[in-house]
Structures are given as structure tokens and as C-alpha cells.
Amino acid sequence: MKLNHIPILAQEIIEALAADPEKIFVDGTTGGAGHSGMILETKPKHLYSFDQDLEVIKRHQSTENWTLVHSNFRHIWDYCKENQIKINGGILLDLGLSSIQLDDPRRGFSFQQDCVLDMRMDQSLELTAANVVNQYSEKDLADLIYQYGEERKSRQIATAIVKNRPFETSAKLADLIKIIYARGSSGKTFRIHPATRTFQALRIEVNQELAALEELLELDFEVLQPGAVLAIISFHSLEDRLVKNSFKKYAAEGKLELICKKPITAGEIELENNPRSRSAKLRLARVK
């Protein structure tokens, strides 16, 4: 398999997983299969690669030692039990969106181009970002933008959304948030687009991203075997906090050994070559 891009924190991941021919691995977030491809190059006994996005899964093909699974990673434990799989190599999660999703305007993740307010990673889900924006109460919108976006202007944004709905596409919403920020900013420019946090919040709500991660972090030690490594890359503090606290709890119970106390971040070269690596935090732990 040919890698078409260098996956995030590639070297760190492959060293930590130390893939070997006797071992079984799970990639919970296949995407463009950069990490999966790297693991496969080390010829593991088997790799199961999950993605909740059917379009992503359809881009790859299972082989003798590679099984693609169209499913949310929250179901890894059930899937492994049903199929009598014991994970003795490790599990990798590289959370968030792949460029396959981000670059496709039909999927509605980007506000850089005007696209439908969809944002479902799993196209079979019912709730879309348009449903959230157009149907949630002002209070629910304010709460979710505050909680999932860590947006300090959440109330103002929620009030403006309710006043100006319906919203069909992303540009109208992004422009509205820009106007709220422009008021009183006396022409100041912003490091990130002012709509970034609100769009993050909508995406987390539509895909129930934190709930899925919490469920996965209810580790199943019947499936996970001693020596298996958990490698989780997150991109915002809400996710990283969940991973950190869960690893800490299991370490205190003597079930996990923390491979590094602080999260691993990208080095200078990677930061220069891959802007997405800027906010990446990798936490590693080993099953005892």
C-alpha cells in the first residue's frame, strides 16, 4: 500500500506501537489510512481499521491481514468480543476529521467555502448541523457553543442565530459570527476565524464526539491484553482532558502504565510541514 501523505506524529506512533508480526492492532480512525498503512508495513498479524464514514471506508480494501470495519470506534469492545479478537498490539486513535471530509463541500465541515450545514461523519445519522442551528432553543445553543466550543461569546452568538435563522449553508453563519466579533474590535485581525469555535461545537454535537470517546475510554481488559499500547492523538483540550483523566484513573488502579506523563507534541520539522500537527497531543499508555 502506498502512503499518499505523512500521517501525524508518524515516527512517535510507530515506535510506541512497536508493531510486530505476532500482534493484533486496531486503528479506530482510518481516514486516509496513513497510520494504518504504516502499521501494515510492519506486517502485523492483523489490523482492524474502523471508520464511521462509509465514503472513507470505501476508499480502501481489506486484505488477508487487514480488515476494514465501517463502525464508530465506540463499538470496538463489542466488535472484538463478538469476533473473539484479543488486542495484544495496540489501539490508535487520531481524532477529528480527515482531509477527505474537510475538502468535500457536500459534507459541510468547512466554512472557508459556502457549503450545506451537514457535518455528519456517519451519513446514516439523522441529526445534521442545520437541524441543530435551526431547531435548538437559544439556551441549548448557547450552552453547547460554550461547552464544546469554549466560546466566550456563546450567548451573543446564540441570540443572533435565533434572530437570523433559518440557516441553509455555512457562509451565512460564519459571516454572522464575524460581524459579532468585528463589533468593538476596532479593526483588529483574528488569529483564527471567529467562527472556528462555533463550528467545532456544532461538529462535536452532531457526531457526539465526546460521548464516543468516553465510551471507548471505558477500557475492556478482557479484550486488551498485557503489553497492548493505547495511542490517542487529540486536537482540543476537551478531548485531551478525557484521555488524560481516563489514563490517570487506570494507572492509579494498576491497570495501565503511562508511557509518558506529558503529551507528546509535534517537532519543529513536522510543525513546518503539516499545519494540522500544531494542536496535536499524543498520549500513550501500556496495558499492565
Ligand X SMILES: C[S@@+](CC[C@H](N)C(=O)[O-])C[C@H]1O[C@@H](n2cnc3c(N)ncnc32)[C@H](O)[C@@H]1O
Residues that bind ligand X (CB under 6 A): 7, 28-29, 31-35, 50-53, 56, 72-74, 94, 96-98, 121, 212
Buried b (16+ CB within 10 A) or exposed e, 141-156: bbbbbbebbebebbbb
Query: One-letter amino acid identity for 2?
Result: K
Which one, 167 or 235, has the nearer CB to ligand X? 235
CB of residue 209 to ligand X, shortest distance in Å: 6
Q: How far is the CB of 9 from ligand X (least distance, A)?
A: 10
Cα→Cα distances 197→66, 122, 192, Å: 36, 21, 9
Which residue, 49 or 88, has its beta carbon nearer to ligand X? 49
Question: Which residue from 84, 92, 73, 122 is spatially nearest to 26, judged by alpha carbons?
Answer: 92
Within a 10 A sphere around the Cβ of 197, how many other Cβ atoms?
21
Closest approach of Cβ 162 to ligand X, in Å?
29
Shortest reach from residue 56's CB to ligand X, in Å? 4
State the DSSP string of 111-166. Answer: SSS--BS---SSTT-S--HHHHHHHS-HHHHHHHHHHHH--TTHHHHHHHHHHH--
The Cα–Cα gap between 48 and 79 comes to 10
Q: With respect to ligand X, which residue has the nearer C-beta, 6 or 160? A: 6
Shorter beta-carbon distance to ligand X: residue 16 or 176: 16
Measured from the CB of residue 202, what is the shortest distance to ligand X in angstroms?
Answer: 15
Closest CA to 279 of 228, 223, 238: 238
Please give the grid coordinates belonging to residue 58: 470505501
Shortest distance in whole angstroms from residue 63 CB to ligand X: 17
Minimum CB distance to ligand X smaller for 142 or for 233 = 233
Nearer to ligand X, 33 or 195 (CB): 33
The closest of 125, 121, 153, 159 to 140, measured between CA atoms, is 159
Contact 208, 239 (CB under 8 A): no
For residue 28, the minimal CB distance to ligand X (Å) is 6
Nearer to ligand X among residue 100 and residue 171 (C-beta): 100
**Measured between alpha carbons, how far is 116 from 110 in angstroms, rounded to an integer?**
9
| Closest CB 214 distance from ligand X, rounded Å | 11
Structure-block grid coordinates of residue 225: 491484553
- Shorter beta-carbon distance to ligand X: residue 35 or 153: 35
Largest CA distance in the chain: 62
